[in-house]
Structure 1
């Protein structure tokens, strides 16, 4: 009888232990969030009006503001807090503040969303980059750079600082290295048109530190990881280092006259991408000097690296969306999210993405599509403006407040 009672008690204790362990495992499992991060915002502007909209993708609400000009290009800063609004036609740059201040493990709210006080008045600001707490524009009208620090974004009357590198006017670009120097395009006149042919290294005063060593037949599109900068070129992919070393990486043999007019950095995956509508999206390996296809297609309408730089999101003219994991170069998910768009359409849908959601403008309906990245059939719509033009992701992939 005692043995039997002991066995019963032991069995009950063991069962309770298993149940406790099972409950603990359930407690330890982190639930998959079905909403966007709390501190992400989507900034959308209009092609015709001055309307600027800040979308909260969790609440699916749109807060409206009035920018200085319509039909501007929009960018997010590397720091996450601010957005930049460039209007080359009117020689104007202005900043927008989300009010979110990132602190690594959490985000503080510093006031309400509003425009910054600092402005830029460079000659046709066209190309934008952000590095650390600095923003940079390349001014096509005279080949200069304009820079500003985040600490000055709310200083009344403050203007972006001009850097004259001795350039002539051209449709150029620049990057900033981790050591504080800049790689900037220059035009020597050897190729017809406004595209530059060379890249040189300058300091913050505009002084040339390392002259160009490679002449190309035309440059467009660029990106950097801080230690090497890549420039799209019809002669090959131009890789430039802060030491002044330069080399060309050849395009795939079947490219013919095609070349990458867009270069993207995927920070999370530690890779570079090249995109051309004539061939598709490819991974560029600088060390191996190799170019590998992610999606070889002539039907790509938009290709963007997501906010963290882990995936590339590709929207086809057919309306199909594809998400590729750049660490493994594999397709994660695909599905139809919009109707088809004609290749000759004047204003096409624009695309940006976080790790959780895809955002696509609808110029004909005035809406922003909010697409669940884990289930492409889950789509919400937010009315933004009559003719949405561009969009940018701002804020932080975090839901942790102070």
Structure 2
């Protein structure tokens, strides 16, 4: 009897192991999702025409719209739903609504894609930022800011509100802190040209709360995480706090006259990066004042932090694409995705990325390349317009509907 019972128990246990093994095998071969998130869209405009292309990267389909002007700059808002179209030459800002409304664990569809009703008429709007539900432009023509909130984006006849901070015209920039104040560049005339030399803190009325304490030899490029703002400068990386505290983080010793004209925030990784074509892309550690290379190269054509701020996508003039994990500062994947582009080419391919795909415009063929971030040899092509100019990622990295 005992022997019979043992045989039965052994058979059951062995069968359970086989089932468990089979389950493991099934789990191992389950294919990884290879499509883009359902609620991601790519907005692409044209250099010559007013044509605006809204690309659905899952269906590889395109919906066409007509912007007010050609050759505009494109940006996405922090909220994800809207895109901003800036045309400094014509003093005009307009908004584009994807119709997607994010709710954390899911996304609602609020109507069809369309333009917003609110517009901006600042004097040469050039620099754009988005913080929470607010959009901000720095207007190079007179040194003012223009702001607007999402609640007004569909209000007929509504204009962006101007903030006069007592500035003169210059090629400037700004950031917004979590406490609602702004860091804004100041032109004091100590350096020839249009670049500013200083940064001050103002409130929403334009009143100066904290004057500049550090003079640089020229500022360009900036980013913030809400509690500190970094500005690229030829004198070093200018770190500005909402309390008015300012300090310069020195460039690496071998930089010579090179400096970061672009500063990027990698939100997901909790880091800042600096980019200069003369040296490459570097991580900036504010606390330790350390500036360390992600990729030291003079062949970089585009370097962009992905949508969530976890990875860095770098496109070289050779056509090679490299993706770096910013949390570990390590190369994840690399491969050739385009032909070579001459460094003196007038209109070069532009790049943006999500966690799953990298998007690259092709100005000569009128296409948008859709490159699988996990397998760079998997590339789809979408015809957008004759001469694609800029692109922006809109929407949400989610496929969960209501």
Shorter-chain TM range is: over 0.9
**1-structure distance, mates of 2:359, 2:117:** 28
**1-structure distance, mates of 2:156, 2:305:** 35
Gaps of 5+ in 2: none
Following superposition, the deviation at residue 260 of structure 1 comes to 0.1
Task: Say whether 1:113 aligns with 2:93.
Answer: no
Following superposition, the deviation at residue 30 of structure 1 comes to 7.5
Q: Which residue of 2 aligns with 1:88?
A: 88
SS of residue in 2 equivalent to 1:185: strand
The 3 A distance-change label for structure 1 pair 200 and 320 is: same
Following superposition, the deviation at residue 4 of structure 1 comes to 3.5
SS of residue in 2 equivalent to 1:96: strand
Following superposition, the deviation at residue 23 of structure 1 comes to 2.7
Q: Which residue of 1 aligns with 2:382?
A: 382
Following superposition, the deviation at residue 326 of structure 1 comes to 0.5
Post-superposition CA distance 1:252-278 (Å, at most 9, x none):
000000000000000000000000000
Following superposition, the deviation at residue 244 of structure 1 comes to 0.0
**2-structure distance, mates of 1:107, 1:17:** 41
**2-structure distance, mates of 1:368, 1:22:** 42
**2-structure distance, mates of 1:139, 1:44:** 23
Following superposition, the deviation at residue 12 of structure 1 comes to 2.7
Q: How does 1:8-27 map to 2 (within 5 A)?
A: 8-16=8-16, 18-20=18-20, 23=23, 26=26
**1-structure distance, mates of 2:70, 2:26:** 52
Q: How many residues align?
A: 402
The 3 A distance-change label for structure 1 pair 123 and 35 is: same
**2-structure distance, mates of 1:155, 1:77:** 18
**2-structure distance, mates of 1:186, 1:255:** 25
Task: Say whether 1:51 aligns with 2:57.
Answer: no
Gaps of 5+ in 1: none
**2-structure distance, mates of 1:358, 1:173:** 27
Following superposition, the deviation at residue 7 of structure 1 comes to 1.0
**1-structure distance, mates of 2:27, 2:338:** 39
**1-structure distance, mates of 2:294, 2:6:** 64
Q: Which residue of 2 aligns with 1:184?
A: 184
Give me the TM-score of the superposition, normalised by structure 1.
0.98
**2-structure distance, mates of 1:13, 1:294:** 52
SS of residue in 1 equivalent to 2:376: coil
Following superposition, the deviation at residue 215 of structure 1 comes to 0.2
Post-superposition CA distance 1:193-238 (Å, at most 9, x none):
0000000000000000000000000000000000000000000000
Q: How does 1:23-38 map to 2 (within 5 A)?
A: 23=23, 26=26, 31-38=31-38
SS of residue in 2 equivalent to 1:313: strand
Post-superposition CA distance 1:338-396 (Å, at most 9, x none):
00000000000000000000000000000000000000000000000000000000000
**2-structure distance, mates of 1:17, 1:359:** 45
Following superposition, the deviation at residue 21 of structure 1 comes to 7.3
SS of residue in 1 equivalent to 2:116: strand
Q: Which residue of 2 aligns with 1:100?
A: 100
Following superposition, the deviation at residue 6 of structure 1 comes to 3.7
The 3 A distance-change label for structure 1 pair 202 and 29 is: farther
**2-structure distance, mates of 1:100, 1:396:** 8
Please tell me the root mean square deviation across aligned C-alpha atoms, in Å.
1.5
Following superposition, the deviation at residue 31 of structure 1 comes to 4.9
**1-structure distance, mates of 2:30, 2:223:** 35
Following superposition, the deviation at residue 44 of structure 1 comes to 0.1
Following superposition, the deviation at residue 2 of structure 1 comes to 5.6
Q: Which moved more, 1:195-204 or 1:9-18?
A: 9-18
Post-superposition CA distance 1:83-133 (Å, at most 9, x none):
000000000000000000000000000000000000000000000000000
Following superposition, the deviation at residue 32 of structure 1 comes to 1.9
